[in-house]
Structure 1
Amino acid sequence: MMKPKHFKKLVGVSCFAVAAMGAASVASAANWRYAHEEYEGDVQDVFAHKFKEYIEDNSDHTIQVYRFGELGESDDIMEQTQAGILQFVNQSPGFTGSLIPEAQIFFIPYLMPTDFDTVVQFFRESEAINEDFPELYAEQGLELLKMYPEGEMVVTADEKVTSPSDFSGKKIRVMTNPLLSATYEAFGATPTPLPWGEVYGALQTNMIQGQENPIFWIESGGLYEVSPNLIFTKHGWFTTAMMANQDFFDGLSGEDQQLIRDASDYAFDEIIVHIDGLADESLEKITEASDEVTVTRLTDDQIEEFKARAPQVEETFIEMTGDSGRELLNQFKEDLEEATN
């Protein structure tokens, strides 16, 4: 079982209760509901409350924020958003990938840089993110308002890992994302999809031998307690997306639509400030809390061993997504080249 302090209890708000709150016309509701995937004070929670702050400071509307577990897991809150029960949702492409296959592009290893300034510039200016992705999300009844980075991905395991051969025989937890599974297969591991609520317990009982997440989430969820070997592979950044139910958004006045877009821009700017240095702070908290933690930063040569396996994941991505995925990948690479020059 997961330790109680790391497994937030459901607050008992059922989908039926939430639906009842939305009995009036959603389009004219003064109180809008927004669910995300993380705990109090984590990156998505900070983003949500900055969005809430802007909305409430600049209008008569209010925002009710629901954190992880309060309305279920990631799949649950997406279903509630598509059904119109929630107006806003924050969900990683790691889960959205089954709904929007092209969103899995963020899980192609070594496609994204890990330099902070380059990553931020890419998210601000990328044509793929700001023009192509909104069209893909719209096809699923979602108004994509903002994609943003949360932090560099870090692997934790039951022992140190410095090469793909070290992953042999290890079950590594992945989100329910086919391409992420392909990545860890390429890395030599056995990918094991699990919802977040089961991860701590599965590591504790050795049902799985590792997982990946941004370092702040490893600290927040206490994962280092049961998976103490941290490996910085530099294979990518964790990305997430904030969106609205499209019917709700389309039914708003032009003034309210602009308010929401402005609030999203404000929250993005604030979250970039928040995550700058967050990884170092979180790692310091982890090393202070546990003497068992080890930190391994792969050398350039060690990284090349993993990077050499990335092309096969790109091929899998194109097989999954066809011509649309190929075009998106080309645009993605073009945008990244502009961000790094």
Structure 2
Amino acid sequence: MKKLFLIVLLVLLVLPLMAAPLTIKLAHLNPQDPFDVPSAAMAATFKSEVEANSNGQIIVELYPNGVLGKERETMLQVKAGIVQSFISSSGGLSTFYPLIDVTNLPFAFSSYNVGYEVYDGDFGQELAADIEKQAGFKVLGFGESGGFFAITNSRREVRTPADMRGLKIRVMSVPLHQEVVKSLGASPTVVAWAEVYTSLQTGVVDGQMNPISIINMAKFYEVQDYITLTNHLYAPYVWVMNPRFYNGLTADQKKIVDDAARTAILAGRGVSRVIDSSDKGLPVLLEKMNVYVPTAAEMKQFRDLAIPAARAFLERTYKSQGKYWVDRFLSAVEDAEAKLGY
């Protein structure tokens, strides 16, 4: 009897130590190639950091390539708690939180460092809190989605907005992007991603806008002669987590998750900057296309047209909330530039 009691006591003591580890299912839409894809670098770094710092008590399962569904479907799975976390594009979040459109305000950032300061600082924290309040997603941070956008076309060098007149520019089905292109004098044309190369090749559209790495990856240099480094858009990935899951973590577990997410976001940004400066980025385009960098005076011409048009669209669409977030965003940009000495 005494021996049986000791065995039962030992089992009761050991069982808590043998409890199954906590699992975080983390999804994103891109291939899991951490040296080529920023979201993959984020996912891989997060997994490594969480599992190491929790001594294996938290396991991170990665679901890349959209294997769990398209963005809306995966976001709904996060909301339901079926999937714990997702690295979403701003477009993917917009269905649930339309005001994320403010991150598409054009010509806002003079450098990547200003963007990092804005999204990692008070503005990013306030925006994250509003996303959780309004849409029901905990935001772990704002990550790298590919970098600054450039404009390409097959007809002529674009130095100022005057050179945009008459050009048909492919855009995504994002109304704010369409307003920006119109404000610069060009004609926005919505074309599905799968049809962009052919549309450029056949002249259905004259040009398009995307980050350097995407332009290179899609081989648009085969059907486009000119590229202008306008750096006019820099919308981040929004890394979300189910708030019930997050709030159910212990204080130590939250710290592990938060620290890992911050480190992972830095990794994603680093990978993107390396890609831009490697044989997958700008050096290739310098050899294959006519590359133009607008002067400060020329950039001002772009900003003076695009920012008021974007502001008017956001205020017209989102009323007082649109005005608040545009003002808050531009104020955060000014504060970041002052802090960094720009």
TM-score by structure 1 length?
Answer: 0.79
Per the TM alignment, residue 250 of structure 1 is displaced from its structure 2 partner at its CA by 3.1
Q: Alpha-carbon deviation of 1:103?
A: 1.0
The alpha-carbon deviation at position 277 of structure 1 amounts to: 4.8
Matched with 1:322 is 319
CA 1:177–1:100: 2 relative to 1, 3 Å: farther
Name which of 22, 30, 48 aligns with 1:38. 30
Match of 1:308 among 283, 304, 326: 304
* Cα distance, 1:230 vs structure 2: 1.7
Identify the residue that residue 155 of structure 1 maps to in structure 2.
Answer: 151
Contact 1:155–1:212 (Cα < 8 Å) also in 2 = yes
Question: Matched residues in 2 for 1:269 and 1:329: separation?
Answer: 26
Larger Rg: 2
State the shift of 1:312 in Å: 1.9
Q: 2:175 aligns with which of 172, 175, 178?
A: 178
Moved more, 245-254 or 36-45: 245-254
**Sequence identity, in percent?**
25
Conserved? CA contact 1:87–1:245, under 8 Å = yes
Q: Distance in 2 between matches of 1:161 and 1:283?
A: 17
Residue in structure 1 matched with residue 233 of structure 2 by the alignment: 236
Deviation per residue, 1:129-170 (Å, 9 max, x gap): 112333224421211110134422112222332333443444
Change (3 A) 1:319 1:64: same
Measure the CA separation in 1 of the matches of 2:38 and 2:263. Answer: 14
Instruction: Report what 1:20 is aligned to.
Output: none
CA contact (8 A) 2:21 2:59 kept: no
Counterpart position of 1:139: 134
Q: 8 Å contact 2:120–2:141 — kept in the other structure?
A: no
Distance in 2 separating the partners of 1:165 and 1:172: 14
- 281, 288, 292: which is aligned to 1:296? 292
Tell me, yes or no, if structure 1 residue 332 matches structure 2 residue 329: yes
Give distance in 1, aligned partners of 2:269 and 2:257: 18
Unaligned segments of structure 1, at least 5 residues: 1-27
8 Å Cα contact 1:101-1:320 kept in structure 2: no
Q: Which residue of 2 aligns with 1:203?
A: 200
Could you say which residue in structure 2 is the equivalent of 1:267?
264
Aligned mates of 1:204, 1:241 — CA distance in 2: 33
Per-residue CA shift, 1:84-122, capped at 9, x if unaligned?
Answer: 332211122244334322211122212222x23333333
Q: Structure 1, residues 227-246: CA drift from partner, whole Å, max 9, x if none?
A: 34221113232422111123
- Which position in structure 2 is the counterpart of 1:82? 79
Taking structure 2 as the reference length, the TM-score comes to: 0.79
CA RMSD of aligned residues (A): 2.7
Tell me, in whole angstroms, the C-alpha distance in 2 between the residues paired with 1:175 and 1:135. 26
Unaligned runs of 5+ in 2: 1-19
CA 1:200/1:45 → structure 2, altered by over 3 Å: closer, same or farther?
farther
The amino acid that maps onto 1:285 is V
Equivalence for 2:51: 56
Secondary structure of 2:213's partner?
helix
Do 2:227 and 2:290's aligned partners in 1 also have CA atoms closer than 8 Å? yes
* Counterpart position of 2:211: 214
- Cα pair 1:106 1:112 within 8 Å, conserved: no
CA gap of 1:321–1:207, structure 2 versus 1, over 3 A, is same
- Equivalent residues of 2:151, 2:207 under 8 A apart: yes
Q: For 1:280 and 1:72, how far apart are their aligned partners in 2?
A: 32
Amino acid at match of 2:119: F
Q: Deviations over 1:204-234 (max 9, x none)?
A: 4444332222212222333333334221113
CA contact (8 A) 2:168 2:207 kept: yes
SS in 2 for 1:172: strand
Amino acid at match of 1:38: N
* SS class of match (1:151): coil
- What is residue 16 of structure 1 aligned with on the other side? none
Q: Which amino acid aligns with 1:199?
A: V
2:298 is matched by which residue type in structure 1? Q
Contact map agreement 2:199 2:205 (CA 8 A) in 1: yes
Aligned pair count reads: 309
Going from structure 1 to structure 2, the CA distance change for 1:294 and 1:340 (only over 3 Å counts) comes to same
Aligned pair in 2 of structure 1 residues 158, 267: CA closer, same or farther (>3 Å)? Answer: same
CA contact (8 A) 1:164 1:187 kept: yes
Cα distance in 1 for partners of 2:172, 2:97 equals: 14
- Quick one: which amino acid aligns to residue 114 of structure 2? T
